[in-house]
Amino acid sequence: MQTGSLPLKITLVILTLILPFAPAMAVPEGSQGFAATWSLLKADQKRQFIAGYIFGWREAAVITDVVADYIRKNPDSAVHSLEKIKSMYDLGDVNPFILSNELDAFFSDPDNSNATLAMAVNSARQRVIQSNQ
């Protein structure tokens, strides 16, 4: 007998994979929250920041869908797959100044005019990593 819906099962699988890492995702002791930074922003800067943040959350939802589909098809390699995906999105110590300059360079190439932001950031990330080696 089958219980629960497929979306519920996927959610449970994802939660099972993520919850063990929840303590590591908590704010480190001694670090500041975001309120101090938020209070320094003007209203238009807050809207721009939140627009980017919302975009990032939507991108994360798409990535989660891809991961869930892959895990469903390859349950034995779930952890390895998640580690591989995490490494693809690790920006390390890349700061906004460097990243925005790299994005300017990326989008100045006419061949990249139709690239998604995720593609641009990944390309910029690769250039930063290569320049640090």
**Residues 83, 22 within the same domain:** yes
**Residues 41, 29 within the same domain:** yes
In contact, 106 and 124? CB cutoff 8 Å: yes
**Residues 48, 107 within the same domain:** no
128 falls in which pLDDT band (50, 70, 90)? confident
1 falls in which pLDDT band (50, 70, 90)? very low
**Residues 19, 79 within the same domain:** yes
Residue 68 to residue 10: CA distance in whole angstroms:
7
In contact, 123 and 107? CB cutoff 8 Å: no
**Residues 83, 118 within the same domain:** no
Among 98, 96, 133, 102, smallest CA distance to 120 is for 102
Domain that holds residue 100: 91-133
Helix (H) or strand (E) holding 119, with range, is helix 117-131
Q: How many domains does the chain have?
A: 2
- Residue predicted with more confidence, 130 or 20: 130
How many CB atoms are closer than 10 A to CB 14?
Answer: 16
Last residue of a domain, one of 89, 104, 125: 89
Instruction: Report the percent of the chain where pLDDT is more than 90.
Output: 12
DSSP state, residue 53 = H
The tokens for 97 are 């100044």
Q: What is the mean pLDDT of residues 75-99?
A: 82
Q: What is the pLDDT of residues 3-56, one digit of tens each?
A: 445 555 555 555 555 555 555 455 555 566 778 888 898 999 999 989 988 988
Residue 67 to residue 74: CA distance in whole angstroms:
10
How many CB atoms are closer than 10 A to CB 9?
Answer: 14
What predicted TM-score, i.e. pTM, was given to this entire model? 0.53
Query: For residue 14, what pLDDT is reported?
Result: 59
What does the chain come to in residues? 133
Query: How far is the first Cα of the chain from the last one, in angstroms, to the nearest whole number?
Result: 55
